[in-house]
Amino acid sequence: MTAHAANRALTSEELERFGHELDAVRARTAATLGQRDADYIRAVVAGVRWTGFAGRLLLWGGAVGGGFLGDFSHFAPLSALIVGTLLLGLSKILENMELGHNVMHGQYDWMRDPHLDGKTYEWDIAGTGDNWRKTHNYRHHTWTNVRGMDDDIGYGLLRIFPEQRWKPFYLAQPLVAVIFAVLFEWGVAIQDLRLGRWFAGKMSTAKLREAFRPVGRKMGRQILRDYVLYPLLAGPFFLPVLLGNVVANIIRNVWTYTIIFCGHFTADVETFSKESVVGESRGHWYLRQLRGSSNLTGGKLMNLLSGNLSHQIEHHFYPDLPANRYAAMAVDVREICARYGQHYNTGSLPKQFGQVIWRILRHSLPSRSKVRRAPASDACSVQFEGGAAEV
């Protein structure tokens, strides 16, 4: 694809100033971290705890009440089951997005709270925190949208960009994408296992078994808790509670998938070759993060429910700063980008997700022509030392 028309070629001197100005935004924010941020994340912790408790209590009460009445169409128990499921789903979204993801980035390590330690936090999904810190915090955030380095480009399942080689398997990707959204936590869980290497005979079964051991233990704990122990508390009314837990997890999975895909796979997002990041300066790194990310509009509620990944650009610039600061930082970031003639990719959830759906559908089919490789004389080669980015 081609770079967005609004992007202006930057000289080396401009790129250096661009990086310094964005570093200054970070420094100003980091200098003001304190009690306000600690109170915020502890309020999120309480919100996760109490919405989860209320959701499970309503699920149990609705199941038992409906069972005693012998008719789940009765308004009160059915309403309790629905509201309980929604509250449990909300709790899981908040824990996954605003708590777990951000804490594991080390955003609150400065608090010295062992429950909010980014290196040890374990979140409420099937995947392990350790694997996420490796695949997401390191690989994805270091090599954002660099082909062959960032495993999040299509997650090994989807062809999202024309630079990815087409295979007949991708004809099924509209269906695969829906299944992936519903089971997103399980896809995250197995991402670091590199199953493709095992299928290709490049990894031994013994090595795969060793890598799977901690993942299998985490999967087992999640299944036992959500699909066995909590439903058993309802006794003979096990099935409605089980169904509520299944639906709550699906709600969380689909929402997480939607937010993450909107942040990385909209129409103006670019990918880069390995050669393009050789000798990458700080300014180059910021520019790559900017062009590999997209934001969502929607206000405070969208910010909270997305874990502030509605500000994906700011998150990629400053992944270890508290995400509740991104909205304020975005004012300065957007102004800097405009001053340097760089497109700041943002839009509503329907607009951005519509572009994601288009990408999934379009790139399930073979490309009509070969992707143009930008020659070293192109303007974008000034922006990415070591080779022109393929955009």
Residues 110-144 pLDDT 10s: 999 999 999 999 999 999 999 999 999 999 999 99
Name the residue with higher pLDDT: 236 or 109: 109
311-324 in b/e form (b: 16+ CB < 10 A) is bbbbbbbbbbbbbb
Name the residue with higher pLDDT: 76 or 378: 76
Show the tokens assigned to 175.
């269906």
CA dihedral 155, 159, 165, 170 (to 10 degrees): 110
Per-residue model confidence (pLDDT) at position 34: 97
Total number of domains constituting the chain: 1
- Residue 104 above 60 pLDDT? yes
Name the residue with higher pLDDT: 317 or 204: 317
The residue ranges of DSSP E strands in 219-296, in sequence order, are 295-296
Taking CA 138 as the corner, what is the angle to CA 137 and CA 140, rounded to the nearest 5 degrees?
75
| Strand, helix or coil for residue 41 | helix
User: What are the pLDDT digits (tens) for 341-362?
Assistant: 999 999 999 999 999 999 999 9
Q: Which domain holds residue 267?
A: 1-391
Per-residue model confidence (pLDDT) at position 335: 98
Query: Across-strand partners of 229?
Result: none
